[in-house]
Amino acid sequence: MAAIPTETVYGLAALATDEDACRSIFSVKGRPLIDPLIVHVAAFSSIPAFAEPVEGLDKLAKTFWPGPLTVILPKRKAIPDLVTAGKPSVAIRIPDQKAALSLLAKVDGPLAAPSANPFGYVSPTRPEHVADTFGEKVPFVLDGGSCRIGVESTILDMRDPRRPGLLRPGAIGRTQLEECLGRSIRICPSVVSSVETALAPGTMERHYSPGTPLFLFESEPPADAGTSRQAVVFLQPPRERPHPIPAHAHAYWWSESGDLTEMAQNLFSLLRRLDAAGYVAIHCQLPAGEEPLAVAVRDRLRRAAAGK
Ligand code: TXA
Ligand code: MG
């Protein structure tokens, strides 16, 4: 087992066909055995050995792979039941990251790799994030620097290709997927409160959470956010912003320019940094709009704040 970079977040990887190695991923992450792992492959041509290449998959692959799209497909026997938590379906993607692709080409098989964070905690986007939370438990981290995208892949349910469903928003948006498939895509109720009832169990409500209580705002932080030991994260630096920073607040911003790409890249590392800084609360500004990354970032921040 080793941590590997991808273009989205770092993953905790083991051969997907090796049941014992995959069992250790669950135990190191503290992940319940009912929450299935996603499987990474190097090439489209290897998919039929592990999953059914349903109608429309070739179009998705041509348009989005390698890239931040995970597709749920009917699974084949070569993938152990442990990996899919007993489900007859498997989540598959081809990552767009040089080191990950060359590792996948070298190892003889697909790699199961969920995000390399303890279950429920903020995902890792830098090699030291993996080391910070796992230490000796994950002795090998393949260093790919900072992840280019910073939020996890879009998950598309293609078990029934005539009724595709969006399970998790990511850098690839629903409209792009609809244009590619020529079908409308239903949004699955991803905000569910318990791991047992979620179709994608990791999409349950409380997820990606720092230990510090996290609160969200759209345009202005609450007036009482201005006490010391509270952090306020704005979309961009003060000069671009109409609202004053509350007195005594420790102000941060997701991006120097208010740019969504930069915001997604910084999201998890800033949350980790502020979580380690000893604040009693973190107030986060949500990005507006329907661009895929705005939707994805809002989804992650809402989950991080849920249940607080
Ligand atoms: O960008 C990503 O997808 C990253 C990188 C490392 O590739 N991986 C990642 O893995 O985010 P993970 O395990 O943290 O999230 C995958 C999600 C989980 O919510 C899991 O429950 C869901 O995919 N999933 C896996 N197999 C599934 C299946 N057969 N049916 C429904 N959901 C599934
Ligand atoms: Mg995860």
- Tens digits of per-residue pLDDT, 32-73? 999 999 999 999 999 999 999 999 999 999 999 999 999 999
Q: Which ligand is nearest to the CA of 170?
A: 1
Q: Would you place residue 222 in the very low, low, confident or very high pLDDT band (cuts 50, 70, 90)?
A: confident
**Chain mean pLDDT for the chain:** 90
**CB of 113 closer than 6 angstroms to any ligand 1 atom:** yes
CA dist 154 → 72, 138, 168, 187, 230 (Å): 11, 26, 5, 12, 32
Mean pLDDT, rounded, for 222-227: 70
Burial class (CB in 10 A: 0-12, 13-18, 19+), 293: buried
CA distance 283 to 246: 11
Strands 230-234 and 186-187: unpaired
Q: Is 206's pLDDT higher than 70? A: no
At residue 35, the pLDDT reads 95
| Residues 202, 266 contacting (CB under 8 angstroms) | no
**Beta carbon of 190 within 6 Å of any ligand 1 atom:** no
Taking the centre of ligand 2 as the mean of its atom positions, its distance from the CA of residue 68, in whole angstroms, is: 14
List the residue whose alpha carbon is closest to atom 19 of ligand 1.
202
**Nearest CA among 125, 39, 129, 148 for reference residue 85:** 39
Phi and psi, residue 249, nearest 5°? -70, 150
Measured from the CA of 113, which atom of ligand 1 is nearest?
Answer: 6
DSSP β-bridge partners for residue 13:
2
Looking at the chain, how many residues does it have? Answer: 308
For the ranges 87-96, 136-145, 184-193, 223-232, which has the lowest average pLDDT? Answer: 184-193
Place of tokens 């319940």: 32
Q: What residues have their beta carbon closer than 5 A to ion ligand 2? A: 115
Q: Map out the domains of the chain with their CATH numbers.
A: 2-187 (3.90.870.10), 214-305 (no CATH)
- pTM here? 0.93
pLDDT band of 238, cuts 50, 70, 90: confident
Q: Are 225 and 246 in contact (CB under 8 A)?
A: yes
pLDDT score for 199: 41
| Ligand sitting nearest the alpha carbon of 123 | 2
Residue 194: pLDDT band (50, 70, 90) is: very low
Q: What is the CA radius of gyration of the chain?
A: 19
Give residue 221's pLDDT band: very low, low, confident or very high (50, 70, 90). confident
Average pLDDT over residues 151-160: 97
Let me know: does 163 contact 155? Beta carbons within 8 Å: no
User: What residue type is 67 in one-letter code?
Assistant: G
Q: Has residue 191 got a pLDDT over 50? A: no
65's tokens: 């792979």
pLDDT tier at 200, thresholds 50, 70, 90: very low
Question: Do the beta carbons of residue 246 and residue 226 sit within 8 Å?
Answer: yes
